[in-house]
Amino acid sequence: MQKICKQCGVDFEITEDDLKFYDKVSPLVKGKKYVMPSPTHCPDCRLMRRLAFRNEKNLYKRNCDLCGKSGIFVFPENSKFPVYCLDCFWSDKWDPLSFGRDYDFSSSFFEQFKKLMESVPKMGLYQFNNENSGFNSFLAYSKNVYMSPGTYLGEDLVYCRKSQHSKDCLNSMLLDECELTEGSANSSHCYNCKSTFNCRNCSDCFYVADSIGCTNCFMCSGLNKKNYCIKNKEYSREDYEKIIEEKFQENRENLMNEFMEFNKTIPKKYQNQLNSEKSSGNFIQNCKNAEMCFDGFNVQDSKYVVECEDVKDSMDVNMHDKNIQLCYEMSSGGDSNYMSKFSFCTVLSPESEYLFSCFHAANCFGCDGINSKKKNCILNKQYSEAEYESLKAKIIEQMINNGRAHGASGVEPEHKEYGEFFPIAISPFAYNETVASDYFPMTKEQVLSKGWRWKDVDPKEFSKSSFVLPDRIEETKDEVLQHVFSCEECGKNYKIVSLELSLSRKMKIPLSKKCADCRQKDLSRFKNPKKLFDRNCSNCAEKIVSVYSSDRPEMVYCEKCYLKEIY
């Protein structure tokens, strides 16, 4: 089945397997099955919609609206709803059900949910069981971590987005069990490495890509169990150490540019997969029947999954981890969610739909801020099981039958409410505050023309700095912690934190002269778009489906040719 995306206008396909999945997750209420409508948006626009509710890195200093204490939150002072610190949010000083309301069938579901969202208090930071890690959101089971959203089980990390089981790392993303690693992405089990990309089990490696089990390698790509190599050529230990000692005196940006040019000359694998079977995507590991999946672990029988772990039989899920099964259009939560749909940041909330920031909310529909074990709630009002089932059935029927949106802001004409994630227009964040703007950048004019919000730049964040960072970490004094710096790339102001300084000294690297956003953009140069393209193997000319488009300069090999050439 071919469809045209209601948002961007591109053609996209609904396969027979997709229809079978929609049938599998169709709700059964009071013995009646409500067939899940097929999506009106293409996969990219569905992902954009979910990411537009995820603010990872824009933090604000403000007071908790319950206890009055000052703190760091993801919601600014002018938010329409109350914002609580973590202690207050989890306390018994307030009751989410006190904001409950009757469902009004003269109004659309999304209109009513928007009003609920504007009244229910929000958790100031999405955090669980952390220590000394206040400047983070979407962080769990970590200690001494700074600005590393999406991370769990980390310790002493600074600017390490979506990393796990890692320690003493800096300016990186998507690390797994790494230590003393800096400026790296999609690397696992690496030690004392700098600027490594898609590397595993490497140590003492610098400017290395697509390599496994290497030690003491510099400016290399596509190596397997090699030592003392420079640009893929082996040297004696003495010669190697002499050469890199001289190279390390050069400007880091020049070294990176040299490495990027060399990296283009080494054949690339059509897709990066490890221990995966019948799967497509990039940077996936231990997956089976995972289609169009990216940056994931242990994904099975699923499609359109991004940055997830332990997901089974699900579709359109991003940043949602741990024991996820039969879930659809879910974002930024996890932990034993079963048959859950169209929700953001939910934990332990099985068989629920249309939840925002709810925890232990089983069999609930259209709720916000549930923070304790509750069941059978609609718009934060609790019902008996029979009442809940009856009302839920009527609401779903109304949503399915709404050929038009009855004025719900941001919902396209002919959009059937049920079977769609929340419209971007009701997101509590401006579009350019969210991860959606990283994946799908848009201008202010484009965003406003769609009826979405935009946050204007504060000129105070771009003031000039009179203090210049030293080029060498050995020359850097503690006084840098007292100054504000201007990013040499975009001009935005940033500060150096004490853990960042200590890690830089420990790893003997200079402090970055770029803000955190520009550092992440630099890392993203080594990550392909989350798309697949038809092209031919650069060696044997066989047709392949690759994460590299046909107009890219890299040589891209099929599985057979890559293994023969590289290994």
Q: Are residues 519 and 547 in the same domain?
A: no
The residues near 493 (Cβ < 8 Å, ≥ 6 apart) are: 461, 462, 463, 465, 484, 485, 486, 487, 515
Q: Are residues 546 and 520 in the same domain?
A: no
Q: Are residues 394 and 511 in the same domain?
A: no
Asked if the structure places residue 255 within a domain, the reply is no
Q: Which two tokens stand for residue 117?
A: 């969202």
Give dist(CA 67, CA 63) in Å, integer. Answer: 8
Number of folded domains in the chain? Answer: 3
Asked if the structure places residue 220 within a domain, the reply is no
Asked if the structure places residue 121 within a domain, the reply is no
Q: Which two tokens stand for residue 442?
A: 């848009």
Q: At what angle do helices 385-401 and 109-117 cross, to 10 degrees?
A: 120
Which of 368, 401, 434 is a domain's end point?
A: 401
Which of 351, 369, 401 is a domain's end point?
A: 401
Give dist(CA 152, CA 158) in Å, integer. Answer: 13
The predicted model gives 143-147 an average pLDDT of 98
The predicted model gives 268-285 an average pLDDT of 95
The predicted model gives 103-117 an average pLDDT of 96
Give dist(CA 417, CA 3) in Å, integer. Answer: 17
Q: Are residues 539 and 518 in the same domain?
A: no
Residue 443 has pLDDT above 50, yes or no: yes
Asked if the structure places residue 452 within a domain, the reply is no
Asked if the structure places residue 356 within a domain, the reply is yes
Question: DSSP secondary-structure letter at 542?
Answer: -
Minimal CA–CA distance to 384: which of 393, 375, 395?
A: 375
Give dist(CA 232, CA 125) in Å, integer. Answer: 45
Q: Are residues 279 and 394 in the same domain?
A: yes
Question: DSSP secondary-structure letter at 482?
Answer: G
Asked if the structure places residue 80 within a domain, the reply is no
Q: How many residues does the chain have?
A: 567
Answer yes or no: are the C-beta atoms of 500 and 172 closer than 8 Å.
no
Answer yes or no: are the C-beta atoms of 113 and 378 closer than 8 Å.
no
Q: What is the DSSP track for 421-461?
A: PPPGGG-SS-GGGSTHHHHS---HHHHHHTT---PPPPGGG
Mean pLDDT score of the chain? 94
The residues near 449 (Cβ < 8 Å, ≥ 6 apart) are: none
Tell me what pLDDT residue 467 has: 87
Q: Are residues 287 and 389 in the same domain?
A: yes
HSE, side-chain direction, 13 A CA sphere, residue 233:
6
| Main-chain dihedrals φ then ψ at residue 251, nearest 5 degrees | -60, 135
Q: Are residues 537 and 518 in the same domain?
A: no
Q: What share of the chain is helix, strand, coil (3-state, %, to 5)?
A: 25, 30, 45
Q: Are residues 483 and 539 in the same domain?
A: no
Give dist(CA 501, CA 503) in Å, integer. Answer: 6
Domain hosting residue 390, numbered range:
274-401
Tell me what pLDDT residue 567 has: 62
Residue 212 has pLDDT above 80, yes or no: yes
Query: What pLDDT, in 10s, does the model give residues 23-67?
Result: 999 999 888 999 999 999 999 999 999 999 999 999 999 999 999
The reply to whether the predicted model has a pTM over 0.75 is yes
Q: Which two tokens stand for residue 494?
A: 């940033």
Which of 401, 431, 450 is a domain's end point?
A: 401
Query: What pLDDT, in 10s, does the model give residues 518-545?
Result: 999 999 988 888 999 999 999 999 999 9
Residue 407 has pLDDT above 50, yes or no: no
Question: DSSP secondary-structure letter at 96?
Answer: G
Q: Which residue has tokens 């994931």? A: 296
Q: Which residue has tokens 């013995």? A: 31
Reported as a pLDDT band with limits 50, 70 and 90, residue 402 is confident
Q: Which residue has tokens 């079978």? A: 20
Q: Are residues 483 and 537 in the same domain?
A: no
Asked if the structure places residue 153 within a domain, the reply is no
Element (H, E) at 394: helix 385-401
The residues near 329 (Cβ < 8 Å, ≥ 6 apart) are: 46, 50, 315, 316, 317, 341, 342, 343, 420, 421
Minimal CA–CA distance to 76: which of 56, 61, 57, 54?
A: 61
Answer yes or no: are the C-beta atoms of 159 and 165 closer than 8 Å.
no
HSE, side-chain direction, 13 A CA sphere, residue 163:
38
Give dist(CA 379, CA 131) in Å, integer. Answer: 34
Asked if the structure places residue 240 within a domain, the reply is no
- Pairing of the two strands 11-13 and 484-486: unpaired
Q: Are residues 386 and 308 in the same domain?
A: yes
Q: Are residues 505 and 544 in the same domain?
A: no
Min mean pLDDT across 105-119, 300-314, 389-403 is at 389-403
Handedness of CA 475, 476, 479, 485 (dihedral sign): positive
Q: Are residues 552 and 490 in the same domain?
A: no
